């Protein structure tokens, strides 16, 4: 298993450049209210597939950044095999995405930060390096880690704050509705007593 708190690596300039594009994609997800995960796929120095998490926007569990980028790259290449490509993704792939990476025969994956709850490049499972599969993937981890993990941390901090505010607002609204009902009942009772 991969050490989850491994330090940020000194990455090649092209790895940083493409990871920064994956980060730009992730910010699009955040703008939609989705978990900020972004992905790009590169072939011969050109981006052939981009994707960002759209689960909430598209209302489907299949709308992960990696899956979207793989679809676009396959369309661009005219093949389901992406054998000479490199994927850059801001968060360690989940089981579904790791499976798609193996199936697409992507040889290299560069990961921004690890995912200790669902990662399948060594954190929870190690699907990308599984010797029993017919394809294994070379990985580089923690490229632009601080920026990738910071973006996720901020998103979830803001989400918790928003949910807490919504909960407080719902509580206040319920209290106000209960207060109106009590006042309304009391007023009706007074009117009944006032009649001769």
Active site residues: 66
The secondary structure of residue 121, as a DSSP letter, is B
The residues near 120 (Cβ < 8 Å, ≥ 6 apart) are: 92, 93, 94, 95, 97, 98, 126, 127, 128
The secondary structure of residue 6, as a DSSP letter, is P
3-class DSSP assignment, residue 90: strand
| Residue 151, both tokens | 């973006």
Strands laid side by side in the 85-91 sheet? 46-52, 38-43, 85-91, 108-113, 138-140
122-126: which pairs have CB atoms within 8 A and are 24 or more residues apart? 122/1, 122/2, 122/92, 123/1, 123/2, 123/4, 123/92, 125/95, 125/98, 126/1, 126/2
Pair 49, 69: CB distance under 8 Å: yes
Residue with tokens 């090649």: 12
């Amino acid at each position: 298993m991969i050490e989850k708190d491994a330090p940020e690596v000194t990455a090649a300039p092209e790895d940083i450049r493409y990871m920064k594009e994956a980060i730009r994609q992730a910010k699009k997800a955040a703008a939609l209210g989705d978990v900020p995960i972004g992905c790009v796929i590169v072939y011969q120095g050109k981006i052939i597939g981009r994707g960002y998490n759209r689960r909430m926007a598209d209302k489907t569990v299949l709308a992960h950044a990696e899956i979207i980028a793989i679809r676009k790259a396959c369309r661009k290449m005219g093949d389901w095999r992406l054998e000479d490509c490199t994927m850059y993704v801001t968060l360690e792939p989940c089981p579904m995405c790791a499976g798609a990476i193996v199936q697409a025969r992507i040889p290299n994956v560069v990961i921004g930060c690890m995912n200790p709850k669902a990662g399948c490049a060594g954190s929870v499972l190690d699907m990308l390096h599984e010797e029993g599969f017919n394809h294994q993937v070379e990985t580089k981890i923690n490229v632009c880690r601080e920026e990738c993990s910071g973006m996720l941390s901020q998103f979830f901090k803001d989400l918790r704050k928003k949910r807490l505010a919504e909960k407080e607002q719902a509580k206040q609204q319920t209290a106000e509705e209960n207060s109106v009902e009590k006042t309304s009942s009391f007023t009706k009772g007074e009117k009944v007593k006032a009649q001769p």
